[in-house]
Amino acid sequence: RLGVVFLRFGQLVSQRLSVRNIAIPYMKELRDSLGQAVNLIIQDGNDAIYVEKMEGVQPVRVYTAVGRRAPLYAGACPRILLSYFSEEEKWKYIEETDLKQFADGTIVDKEQLLEVLQMAKKEGHTISYSELENHTAAIAAPIFASDGTVVAGISISGLAIEYSESNISYFIAKVKETANRISKELGFLA
């Protein structure tokens, strides 16, 4: 069973290898400029899989790890993928998914989730606080392929106390800028 899991993960990684390879230098730059962990995630069915991670400077390690799965509704990086589903796909996902609580901030109300998804798509980013692990925060933005589809999400994550009113706007701008630069390298013309 474990061999099948790794084989499936290997296939997913190879499909998105170019995204990962292109993203790595940008991820390092983002990590070095903010000191936060940086994550790259792709979709696999109703889950997201972390395919790359650069650790931040803080000694605490958050939920994310390469190969780890998360439901698309929980956490900033998985949710940014879900926010770019078609309206029909979003409704289907929300109707069919049992929203389970992972941490204090996990969204388990379907109407609230839909509102957050609409806002994420409108603003081009999403923020989470204590959704996959208590006392953590993350900011994510989508990475687009040349055809305009979302192929991955990029996020920063760290301790929630580091995501304050004084720096949140700067963090958001840096994550979105990094996502846009990776998207341009993939041929996306915004």
State the DSSP code for 59. Answer: S
Fold of 2-185: Beta-Lactamase (3.30.450)
The predicted-structure confidence for 147-173, as pLDDT tens digits, reads as follows 899 999 999 999 899 999 999 999 999
For the beta sheet containing 47-54, the strands, ordered from the edge strand earlier in sequence to the opposite edge, are: 69-71, 47-54, 37-44, 150-159, 136-144, 126-129
What average pLDDT score do residues 45-58 get? 90
How far is the C-alpha of 58 from the C-alpha of 77, rounded, in Å? 20
- How many angstroms from the chain centroid is the CA of residue 179? 11
CA distances from 134 to 44, 79, 90, 139, 183 (A): 25, 17, 26, 15, 31
- Residue 183 and residue 176 in contact, taking contact as beta carbons nearer than 8 Å: no
Phi then psi for 37, rounded to 5 degrees? -65, 145
Full-model pTM: 0.88
The predicted-structure confidence for 66-122, as pLDDT tens digits, reads as follows 888 999 999 999 999 999 999 999 999 999 999 999 999 999 999 999 999 999 999
How far is the C-alpha of 140 from the C-alpha of 157, rounded, in Å? 9
The contacts of residue 4 (CB under 8 Å, 6+ apart) are none
Indicate the SS3 state at residue 137. strand
What average pLDDT score do residues 34-47 get? 95
